[in-house]
């Protein structure tokens, strides 16, 4: 969904051309600037123009790369269900929910500044809502994927709901630098355990 057309040199194992390299560079510059400024001043107090200035791009370019301020900060993939992820999902031996944890967890395996983001989120709770909002937009993709292994649409929805609930928890639980997928699985187990105690 990136507005900037994908360079064909991007896909194969070929070394990316100058063009592609510059694009990654720009994208990264914007993201870095957003991360830095929002960290210092908070999300509301940081304007897109300030980020652009720091990243040395025009505000128009900013919106060529990201659809919103929050998107620039979080950098969620527009299409989390890559063909490879799908392969792994379909081939996974465990249960549906289990496999989903891996796919959903995969969105943040990029790992470099995920920790910074985590801290940002706990320092600025106003960001939780936009972040979850963006996750929600991916929901339908996850449901579609889940449906490929579920025995019914209902099941697919339930499984995704479960994992999204776990995601909601991991967003709130402070600390923990374990990979997201692992945390998700852990939380799902806790949710399972919850049924044996509070409910009746």
Q: How many angstroms separate the most distant Cα atoms in the chain?
A: 62
Rg over alpha carbons for the chain, rounded to the nearest Å, is: 18
How many whole angstroms from its chain centre is CA 104? 8
Q: Of these partners, DNA, a copy of itself, none, which one is at the site of residue 19 (CB under 5 to 8 Å by kind)?
A: DNA
Supply the minimum distance, in Å, between the C-beta of residue 140 and a copy of itself: 8
Q: How far apart are CA 143 and CA 156, in angstroms?
A: 6
Q: Of these partners, DNA, a copy of itself, none, which one is at the site of residue 22 (CB under 5 to 8 Å by kind)?
A: DNA
- Residue 106 CB burial class (10 angstroms; 0-12, 13-18, ≥19): buried
37 or 150: whose CB is closer to DNA? 37
Which one of the spans 21-29, 43-51, 55-63, 90-98 is the region binding a copy of itself (CB under 8 A)?
Answer: 90-98
HSE-up of residue 196 (Cα within 13 Å, Cβ side):
4
Q: Of these partners, DNA, a copy of itself, none, which one is at the site of residue 5 (CB under 5 to 8 Å by kind)?
A: DNA
Q: Give yes or no for residue 67 binding DNA (CB under 7 A).
A: yes
List Cβ neighbours of 177 (8 Å cut-off, separation of 6 or more).
Answer: 115, 118
Supply the minimum distance, in Å, between the C-beta of residue 69 and a copy of itself: 15
Q: Give yes or no for residue 7 binding DNA (CB under 7 A).
A: yes
User: What one-character DSSP code corresponds to residue 77?
Assistant: -
Q: Give yes or no for residue 28 binding a copy of itself (CB under 8 A).
A: no
Which of residues 95, 144, 148, 178 is near a copy of itself by CB under 8 A? 95
17 or 168: whose CB is closer to a copy of itself? 168
Which one of the spans 20-28, 30-38, 132-140, 176-184 is the region binding a copy of itself (CB under 8 A)?
Answer: 132-140
- Residue 32 CB burial class (10 angstroms; 0-12, 13-18, ≥19): middle
User: What one-character DSSP code corresponds to residue 108?
Assistant: G
Supply the minimum distance, in Å, between the C-beta of residue 156 and a copy of itself: 10
């Amino acid at each position: 969904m990136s507005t900037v057309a994908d360079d064909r040199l991007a896909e194969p194992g070929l070394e990316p051309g100058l063009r592609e390299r510059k694009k990654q560079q720009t994208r990264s510059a914007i993201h870095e600037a957003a991360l830095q400024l929002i960290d210092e001043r908070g999300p509301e107090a940081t304007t897109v123009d300030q980020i652009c200035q720091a990243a040395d791009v025009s505000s128009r370019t900013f919106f060529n790369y990201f659809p919103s301020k929050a998107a620039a900060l979080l950098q969620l993939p527009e299409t989390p269900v890559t063909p490879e992820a799908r392969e792994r999902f379909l081939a996974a031996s465990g249960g549906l929910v289990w496999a989903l944890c891996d796919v959903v967890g995969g969105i943040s395996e990029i790992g470099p500044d995920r920790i910074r983001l985590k801290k940002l989120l706990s320092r600025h709770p106003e960001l939780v809502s936009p972040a979850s909002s963006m996750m929600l937009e991916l929901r339908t993709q996850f449901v579609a994927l889940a449906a490929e292994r579920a025995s019914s649409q209902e099941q697919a929805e339930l499984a995704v709901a479960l994992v999204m609930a776990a995601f909601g928890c991991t967003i709130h639980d402070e600390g923990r630098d374990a990979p997201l997928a692992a945390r998700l699985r852990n939380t799902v187990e806790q949710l399972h355990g919850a049924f044996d105690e509070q409910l009746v």
